[in-house]
Structure 1
Amino acid sequence: MRIEQLDVVLRARSGWEAMELGTALVRRHARAIWAPCLLLGLPLFALVNALAWWADAFGLAWLLMWWLKPVFDRITLYVLSRGVFGDTPGTLQTLRAQRHWGGSGFWGYLGWRRFSPLRTLLLPANLLEGNPPAQQGARRRAIASDAFFHALLLTTVCMVFELVLVAGGIAAVFMFVPFELLSDSWRAALDMVREDTPAWALLGLNLAFWLAASLIGPFYTGAGFGLYLNRRTEMEAWDVEIAFRRLATRLQQAAPLLALVLVLGWPGGTLHAQEAAPHTAGAQAASELDALLGKDDAADDEADEDEVPLDHRNDPANTPEVIFADRSADTAGFRQAVQRAYEDPLQSPTRKVSRWQRTLDEALRKEKEKQDAASARGERSRAKGPLLPAQIAEWMLWGLVGILLVLLLVTAPRWLRWLRGSGGRRSAVAATVVEEAIVLPEVVPPDPAAQARTLWQQGRPRQALALLYRASVDSMSERAQINLPPGATEAQCLRASRRMPDPADRDLFARMVQVWQYAAYAGQLPSSEAFDTLAGTLLQQFRWRA
């Protein structure tokens, strides 16, 4: 494995950051993960449910699918282990690899290790490292030593997420049930579960469990893979090894250039030997150099030639004749040109800058140093946080003041009148509200619409609506050819009204029940126009006597 080719930045992370890294990898390779999972999961789901239905154990199909979850964890781990190296596999490549990849250390997770809460952390150690069976136990203990808590918490959280998704899917079904039928629907659902659950309900429950596991499972495996990478980085210093490998690569690329520099700059090399002039030529060049530089005592220089090091002034190869290969070189003109070039002010542009600065006497300087040192110590002490308890106490005092102000505002009606001098006065006792009880008539009059209008005009709207509701129930029972039990609820009446053959009759009765419920239980009465319209519609539709 060439860790320098990793597509992620490796460093020592906390357990939470490592799990976030794993979920980020899952989001990056989402298509490569979920495509093979669904292609393998859909046929497997159909096969398991068909076998469970054939064996008359349809309710246990979700348990078998839950037991096979490590198979799909294996797919996610295969994609992530290649994706971190920049080689994301295709869907067919991932499915083909499941036949032979990681088989030696995998089957235990479908057996005795299935209930291990550390499966997502230890599965990469078995499938990716390829250790011998005798060393796998020690390797798993080393990896799980400092990541046990995070792996356990990850398993618990993902399990809770799956249960929440399943419960949310079941609750979403009841969101489409009308409110007035919700309680009866809950009761019917509970009775269906307790007595004999139909096959379609069990299939829907199995599908909800499988969809929740398919959604949360890759994130669970990815977070565990992030913990695994972090443990390998901590134990084996992968980040340091990657830095050294990249440094070695850069040095290998620069090795030819370094070798060339060493060859060219090595003292005593061949180039320096080739540049050395013969003895005779050197002596002649030295004499000419002395003539050019105006030295009178050439014999002394020759005597000390072996002791004085060569430089640009006494190097025999640095004469104009040797350089220009011409004995008649105009050295005087050359020297004048060089002198003029050195005298040019542009060659050494310098200027003198003067600043005036106030000088402090010794006493002021020492005082200023003391103030600077005191301010620096204060900043360091504030940075270290010794004032934190004082700040907490100050915040608590301000919070107490805020609570007292809120209490004073809330209790102001109690103590404010005492400050005004009106504490002895008592408020007048409110009159008792007498409300007429709603009583459904036992016998419906022959003209219920006219009697209801009379009650409405007398200021008894609830009694008028009760009369219309009672008459509508009798008409519904007659047309649906059903006998309602005494004390039947509105919901029972609505279910019985579905047997009326005319859709207009069913809609009108449902409208009457809704108006009656709003008036009886919510205290919301219709307007006079709405009441007259409803009474006239009931009179015409149910053919009451006027």
Structure 2
Amino acid sequence: MNLERLAVRARLRSPWESIDLGIALARQQWWPLFLVWLLPAALLFGACYLLIPESPNLSLLLVWWLKPVFDRLPLFLASRSLFGESVSALAALRQFFAQNRRDWFAWISWRRLSPTRAFDMPVTLLEQSSGAARAARIGVLHRKHASAATWLTLTGFHLETFLLIALVALIYLFIPEQVQIDWMPLFGGDTQWFEWTVNALYLLVMAALAPFYVVSGFCLYIGRRIELEAWDIEIQFRKLRDRHQRERKHREKSKSRAPLAAQLMLLCALGIAAGAAPEVRADSVDTPQEARETIDEVLAGEDFHQLEQVSGWRLKEIDWTQSEFPEWLIALLEWLENRPRDTDQESGWGPFVGLLIEILLWLVVAGLVIYLLWRYREAIVRSLQLRKKAAPKKATPETLFGLDVRQSSLPADVCAEVLRLWRAGDQRDGLGLLYRATLSHLIEDYQFEFGDHLTESECAQLVQQRQRQSEKAPQPDAAPQSGEEARRPVSAPLSGFVHQLTASWQQLAYAHRAPETTRVETLCGQWREAFANGH
């Protein structure tokens, strides 16, 4: 994650400012975001039309329920474009299954009705967190912005409803008055093609609003990370570092050009001395009266008399005393009033209402079962004496924060090389070697899963969390409950060393404040105790 390529200004924003920023970004690239959401959803909708043509409402319910699956591609595109990487819609569609590989079942089961879905999904998709780490991360993020994320979901739901009604009303307005349509069979559910048409319109409405909902939630997440991790301060430090390096290079070039500059300055001084001084005329100065007339002429110009015409939508004033109600509305009200109430007679609404109630009841039962399984999952696992399978080992990163963390890139004696570079005046490379050697050993020996989405401080916090977990480790005769205990424990001296080294490296890398030589020698001694001696 290269903060220098951030496409927006990194500053503290309120939750509503972050949502406005997401809407602006979604407007800029709405078309590709719309396509990557619509095409998979339309493919599923078309498959349902071919397989179960008699159940249009069930097909729409399935597409609506799988919204978290379709939201991932717009989030993938928005995250790449925010950091200056251009990804086409076709390339994003090829990533459909790869982006839905992590926690897909959770998002279409107990997390499906989460009111903060757009705010929480970047934690799964971008940070690739799961389990206890995800829960802790969500808890930190929700301390401030959870309310705004909930209102974002509620607003999106109501906008979908309003736009669907508006779209149907717009189509109705295009029907000529001479065309007489019998609306009763349509509203009674006797024509499946009408239900499929309305559902297709609702699918288009969902696809049109999805980019704004997903990108707004993503910007809400980015705003919270800027607040927690001080991205704005880090970017300013990096700019100061770059400017310092440019000024140093400029001074070095200036020293080499000093004789030539002195000659040019001497020539310029001789030319000025030889030139004639301009003659100032007393009559060129305007009097106060002339200046006032000039000001009046400027104020009388067109630049100060521009007219602006503003147009917009307004509510139409309707005289309800003289207006006539449409005939179809009167016929609908009469049909509702005079429809048969005998249960023995057939009614078009009965099967539909019964099916809807049955679906809602099954959803409630399924949700209750899923909640109970999730709530008491640890007790169930302990009672069945099951052990979770170890997750496949992730690929070891080769670079972190621009540093090479491969074991093959390290010298045989790390501390000796660090002290040699430090005494030779190459302080940044010396301390950088010690820091990247520490990261390399933490990844290889202690199985830490550091990634580009983390900062230096977050890596040190992960080491500290492992050290706290090691102190609270269960007794040897207790059965392990997860795969975390299988990792190598971290001692308190190692955690303290990583914290001190990280602070020294950040001060040197971003603030250009080099630590004292004795401190570097102490850090090298601690490194030998932590890694070279096998502790």
TM-score normalized by the length of structure 2: 0.45
TM-score normalized by the length of structure 1: 0.44
- Rg larger in 1 or in 2? 1
Q: Which has the higher contact order (CA 8 A, sep 6+)?
A: 2
